Structure 1
Amino acid sequence: MLFLSLSCCRSSSQEQASGQASSQGSMPVKVVKVERRNLSEKLTFTGTIEAWQKMNIVPDISGKIARIYVKEGDRVSQGQLLAELDTQSLRLQLQQAEAALAAARANFEDARKNKERMDRLFEEKAVSEQQYEKIKLAYEAAQAQLEQAQAAVNLLRHNLQVSQMKAPFSGVVASKNANEGDVINPMMGSFSASSGVLTLMDFSRVKIAIEISSNDVTRIYRGQKAEVRVPYLPDKVFEGEVNLITLTADPTTKKFKAEIAVNNPELLLRPGTFGEVTIEVASKPQALVIPQRAIIDNRFVFVVEGDRARKKEVVLGLETATEAEVLSGLREGELVIVEGNFGLVDGSPVTLIGEVKS
């Protein structure tokens, strides 16, 4: 009886040891189920957001700023009066010029009548050629004086008109660079002349400047859709499109410059900030997809069959940084090893410890 008991204990101990050895030889692995879904390859760029239009508002003439009607941050409409120069001196000059024009016009009328009378007399040979030439020259001088007086009036009227600074487009006053009473001279390099009385921006539409490598430039074209994200609005995606691509690369960076246009009616995208641009350059609908980390040596994967790993050769199609399309070698629903697959050989014992979401 004692012998039988010892024999049973030894047999049980050997089976337990054998089970532990088998468990210790099995590789714990995690898998992903092969599935069909849309696969797309996207390129990501970072660029600076710029206003669609930006202009410094500067008068065409020099003078003292009389009024500024807007402040920084105001929305303005095209044609709206923003600021104007002091025009008192111009108005006095215009009055004087208009009086001179009236006198020149009267003088011209007299000269014209004299010439018409002299034309008839000269045809009748009632006056000498010398007398005729004298009246003709007086007429031409009066005509020149009239034209000069009219030009002076036109110039002053033009100066009065351009003394009013109006919005060339609808937008937002980005900055106020001068004050009422400041003297501005566009011909001088003063701060007012270079930066303007005001800076106006239209960023109801914005553009984002990006740089594209020579490897990727042929995959991007005008009109291509783009997604834009900014760090200060992490949950919002803006839709845009490629508006411009340069034909030649920058000689220093060897990259091509491109511009993304984005509608921004709520003015959420702010000029001067950074934006992340994502452009889809390839897509495959309902592709058989596996993670890149499942792929070994660009052509093999391991799948779990029972408690064994089976090595399979695959042919890949569209690839992204994290996923790949399988053209052949796998079936939908198979379990591909993504963790614990390095060091395996065909037939290696494995223990499935979890399934990873693809």
Structure 2
Amino acid sequence: MSQSGTPGRPSLRTRLLAGALLLLVAGLALIPSLLGEKAVLITVDRGELVQSVVASGKVRSPQRMELGSQVSGRILKIAVREGQSVAAGDLLLQLEAAELQAAADQAQAGLTQSTTRLEQMRQLAQPLAGQALRQAEANLAQARRHFERTRDLAARGFYSPTQLDDARRNLDVADAQWQSAQLQAQSNQSGGSDYRLAEAAVAQARAGLALARSRLDYARIVAPRAGTILTRHVEPGDTAQPGKTLLTLAPAGTTELIAQIDEKNLGLLKTGQKALASADAYPDRHFAGEINFISPAIDPLRGSVEIRLLVPEPPDYLRQEMTVSIDIETARRVDALVIPLAAVRDADSAQPWVLVVREGIARRQAIELGARSDGRVEIRRGLAAGEQIVGGQSAVRDGSRVRAANG
């Protein structure tokens, strides 16, 4: 009769099987430490890396100009149409100007009259005043000689006192006439009061003519600068009123893009950097831009900084306030050491690091980062081309033995 073992104790076979199972489990547990933990390994490689800052902005072309009239008047002619390009000084609208023209003609006549009067003073009044002065001087000299002779004869008894009084009176009259002629001559000379009045009249008439011509020019509304007519709000026969918009002009000039950039990217930006932009309305059409202004102030509410980009050759489809997407190239590396940014630990700190695999062991390695683009980052110091690093999602620790996940 066979013996099955002591009741309550496992058989020898059972104990052997259990021991084998324990050895198997222990062996499996030792495999990672012997062969290494599986991890995604990334090879450090060289390649081109273009770093850029992407932003959304608006188009700002020279501000539109609302053109109106400074005088009231009926519109006789409209010389332009919507969408037409014009040069500075081109006629846009012509108002009825008969009354303004008459005022200008009247002012011209007033100026002619004043200048003629001044010329008449130079050619006639001044010589006549000079002749009158010389005649008065001659009369005064004769009256003085007659008085002196009469006085001598009266003293000797040949003339009566009455005759002496008459001679004195004639002398006083001649003296008064000489003084009057002298004042008149001085007044008619250049710098004299009459002459200055005549000059003032000419100046006043000339100013009146300038005013009349200026008002006459108001009847011709011309383009203040080159540009394109966007809209017109009147038709021939309408009445123009001061303050009423008649035409809208989009001046030709520099086109800029304005964008708000997160302040964390401020250190990457500088004037002169190139950009590629596209209007949201035309996403497949791109045009070049260049940073020409970076605001010195930060918007405290949005934490952003305003930049402006010059568009040297704006496409014809750009419109004021149009939304655009802007890709600014901030750095370009032709032959850089490049790894995925996800493989960098503490990438945004002052001491980023990676796990580099050397002789099968993961070692913590401090690195210096450079330009970033599309999930990749430039390594300036700490790694060499061809080295392998542990992927960022791995739980491998510093000092652990590792092996490739597909190994």
TM-score, L = length of structure 2: 0.66
Q: Could you tell me whether the CA contact under 8 Å between 2:39 and 2:402 is conserved in 1?
A: no
Give the distance between the partners of 1:204 and 1:309, measured in 2 at CA. 64
What is the aligned partner in structure 2 of residue 351 from structure 1? 405
What is the aligned partner in structure 2 of residue 153 from structure 1? 209
Q: What value does the CA root-mean-square deviation take over the aligned residues?
A: 3.8
Give the distance between the partners of 1:208 and 1:155, measured in 2 at CA. 43
Give the distance between the partners of 1:245 and 1:261, measured in 2 at CA. 12
Q: Is 1:184 the counterpart of 2:261 in the alignment?
A: no
Aligned length: 324
Give the distance between the partners of 1:122 and 1:42, measured in 2 at CA. 94
More off after superposition, 85-94 vs 112-121: 112-121
Q: Is 1:287 the counterpart of 2:304 in the alignment?
A: no
What is the aligned partner in structure 2 of residue 45 from structure 1? 55
Q: CA deviation at 1:251?
A: 6.6
Q: CA deviation at 1:290?
A: 0.8
- Report SS of the residue matched to 1:320: strand
Candidates 375, 385, 404, aligned match of 1:332: 385
Q: Is 1:245 the counterpart of 2:294 in the alignment?
A: yes
Q: Is 1:299 the counterpart of 2:299 in the alignment?
A: no
Candidates 77, 92, 99, aligned match of 1:67: 77
Q: Is 1:81 the counterpart of 2:137 in the alignment?
A: no
Give the distance between the partners of 1:291 and 1:78, measured in 2 at CA. 57
- Report SS of the residue matched to 1:41: strand
What is the aligned partner in structure 2 of residue 320 from structure 1? 372
Q: CA deviation at 1:265?
A: 4.7
What is the aligned partner in structure 2 of residue 113 from structure 1? 123
1:31-63 Cα offsets, whole Å, 9 max, x none, are: 655321232432233221011353233345444
Q: Which amino acid aligns with 2:353?
A: R
Matches within 5 A, 1:89-100: 89-100=99-110
Q: Could you tell me whether the CA contact under 8 Å between 1:55 and 1:199 is conserved in 2?
A: yes
Give the distance between the partners of 1:248 and 1:264, measured in 2 at CA. 29
What is the aligned partner in structure 2 of residue 56 from structure 1? 66
What is the aligned partner in structure 2 of residue 5 from structure 1? none
What is the aligned partner in structure 1 of residue 163 from structure 2? none
Q: CA deviation at 1:310?
A: 4.8
Give the distance between the partners of 1:330 and 1:246, measured in 2 at CA. 38
Q: CA deviation at 1:100?
A: 2.8
What is the aligned partner in structure 2 of residue 229 from structure 1? 278
TM-score, L = length of structure 1: 0.73
Give the distance between the partners of 1:252 and 1:171, measured in 2 at CA. 37
Q: Could you tell me whether the CA contact under 8 Å between 1:171 and 1:200 is conserved in 2?
A: yes
* More strand per residue: 1
What is the aligned partner in structure 1 of residue 134 from structure 2? 124
Q: CA deviation at 1:261?
A: 0.9
1:47-80 Cα offsets, whole Å, 9 max, x none, are: 2101135323334544443322222222222332
What is the aligned partner in structure 1 of residue 9 from structure 2? none
Candidates 160, 167, 178, aligned match of 2:223: 167
Q: Which amino acid aligns with 2:345?
A: I
Matches within 5 A, 1:248-287: 248-250=297-299, 255-287=304-336
- Could you say which structure has the larger radius of gyration? 2
Q: CA deviation at 1:327?
A: 3.6
Q: Which amino acid aligns with 1:211?
A: Q
Q: CA deviation at 1:231?
A: 1.8
Q: Which runs of 5+ in 2 are unaligned?
A: 1-20, 137-176, 347-351
- Report SS of the residue matched to 2:205: helix
Q: Could you tell me whether the CA contact under 8 Å between 1:204 and 1:265 is conserved in 2?
A: no
- State percent identity of aligned pairs: 24
